[in-house]
Copies of this chain bind each other. A is one copy, B any other.
């Protein structure tokens, strides 16, 4: 074999030794002239073992020089557990409420030394998704996904998840449940309209995909609220675009309604605009109430009545997760977490 592979130094970059392969703790050990064990001790500040200061320095220096970064997978493989909390990306477009809630939660879990990872499980459903999550061996899973079933929970637990928490309308067997009762939103809104003397109430149902997780129960809650009162609820499909709103507004008078719950504040803005353009008076001809209590409601004229929603604080939830991780055998907690309170302004 007359030819020999040699590493050709890059003349334009004489500083870096260009290690084409990823440095491992063995490389650090070699460079520092110690064993891999010692490297591990030093880099993890293991206090059960005393390492001399000069050695520590040599190790740290070598690690720095090589740009060594420990391999999380190898570490957790060896350790047998991880501190990863997995939150599947929600299948619905996350609104500002949920986004804020999630970022707060991430922060709080970070404080507890967990690593929060949001997993985009596109196109996976039900148990298939659960299996994909389980492959990552998270210590806990926080799932806003509606279609995690008892089977899925079982898969996750069997694969080592010490806590599974769902965020949704109903509890799943074996998992802790943060119950988000969207029906209450519709109930509160429509109850308010009734109290204001309205009887024939429209309820906007967004035509957009993926929102039915919320809109269906809000509608159901609205229906529940009028039961036995003599008032009526009429379902009104509406796409989030001017044209469709104008169409709805145009046939408004023929509908014979005197109030409308608009699913949320954004649809409220859309519909109010269309109704006003049609010459209708709010709240005279139609009382309007939204939900979510976004800033924009306060900026509308008349100011928009709304249902203020409140998700649990990230810190509380992080504490729940931490508790569950420490006591995986504990009885599943189920807690109602969606605060819903009417904010009465001028549109109703």
On A, residues with C-beta under 8 Å from B are: 16, 19, 22-23, 67, 69-74, 76-77, 82, 89, 93-94, 96, 99-100, 103, 106-107, 109-111, 115-120, 122-123, 131, 134-137, 154-155, 158-160, 240-242, 266, 269-270, 273, 295-296, 298-299, 301
Contacts and interface: CB of A to CB of B under 8 A. Distances in A.
Contact of A77 (B70, B73, B107, B270): B73
Nearest to A71: B137
Contacts of A266: 295-296
Given A22-B137, A106-B122, 4 more contacts: A93-B100, A106-B120, A117-B118, A296-B296
A269 B300 CA distance: 9
A28 B117 CA distance: 29
A71, A94, A269, A273: residue with the most chain B Cβ atoms closer than 10 Å? A71
Max count, chain B CB within 10 A of own CB: residue among A93, A94, A116, A299: A299
Number of copies of this chain that the complex holds: 2
Contact of A110 (B16, B74, B118, B120): B120
Nearest to A276: B301
10 contacts: A22-B137, A22-B159, A71-B137, A72-B137, A73-B137, A93-B99, A94-B99, A115-B120, A117-B120, A266-B296
A115 B120 CA distance: 7
A249 to B, nearest CB: 12
A131 B77 contact: no
A333 B273 CA distance: 45
Contacts of A120: 103, 106-107, 109-110, 115-118
Contact of A73 (B70, B76, B103): B76
A295 B239 CA distance: 12
A199 B338 CA distance: 50
B22 A69 contact: no
Nearest to A270: B299
B118 A89 contact: yes
A322 B230 CA distance: 61
Nearest to A67: B158
A94 B118 CA distance: 14
A289 to B, nearest CB: 18
A74 B69 CA distance: 18
Contacts of A242: 298-299
A16 B160 CA distance: 16
Contacts of A69: 131, 134-135, 155, 158-159
Nearest to A123: B110
A279 to B, nearest CB: 14
Given A67-B154, A100-B93, A158-B23, A122 B110 contact: yes
A347 B57 CA distance: 65
B119 A117 contact: yes
Nearest to A156: B69
A119 B87 CA distance: 10
A347 to B, nearest CB: 15
Contacts of A103: 89, 93, 120
A301 B123 CA distance: 41
Nearest to A241: B295
Contacts of A273: 299, 301
